[in-house]
Amino acid sequence: MKKLLSGILICLCLASFAAASDAGDRVVRAAAALKEIMDAPDGGIPQDLIDKSVCVAVIPGMKRGGFIFGANYGRGLMSCRLENGDGEWSAPSMFRLEGGSFGLQIGAQAVDLVLVVMNLRGLESLLDSKFTLGGDASVAAGPVGRTAAAETDAWMSAKILAYSRARGLFGGLTIKGGTVRPDKDANLELYRQPMDARTLLLSKTSTIPKDAQIFLDQLNKISPKKSDQ
Give the per-residue pLDDT at 188.
Answer: 94
In a domain, 10, yes or no: no
In a domain, 181, yes or no: yes
In a domain, 134, yes or no: yes
**Contacting residues for 164 by C-beta, under 8 A, at least 6 apart:** 102, 105, 111, 112, 113, 114, 170, 171, 173
Q: How many separate domains does the chain show?
A: 1
In a domain, 110, yes or no: yes
Give the per-residue pLDDT at 141.
Answer: 72
Give the per-residue pLDDT at 163.
Answer: 83
Give the per-residue pLDDT at 160.
Answer: 84
> How many CA within 13 A on the CB side of residue 115?
34
Give the per-residue pLDDT at 82.
Answer: 93
Which ranges of the chain have pLDDT less than 70? Answer: 1-21, 41-43, 63-73, 99-110, 122, 125-126, 128-129, 131, 134-138, 145-157, 166-177, 226-229
Phi and psi of 161, rounded to 5°?
-105, 135
pLDDT digits (tens, 9 = 90+) for 150-183: 455 545 667 888 887 765 555 555 566 677 888 9
Residue 199 contacts residue 91 (beta carbons within 8 Å) = no
CA 63 from centroid of its chain's CA atoms: 14
In a domain, 12, yes or no: no
Residue 185 contacts residue 197 (beta carbons within 8 Å) = no
- The whole-angstrom separation of Cα 179 and Cα 64 is 14
In a domain, 62, yes or no: yes
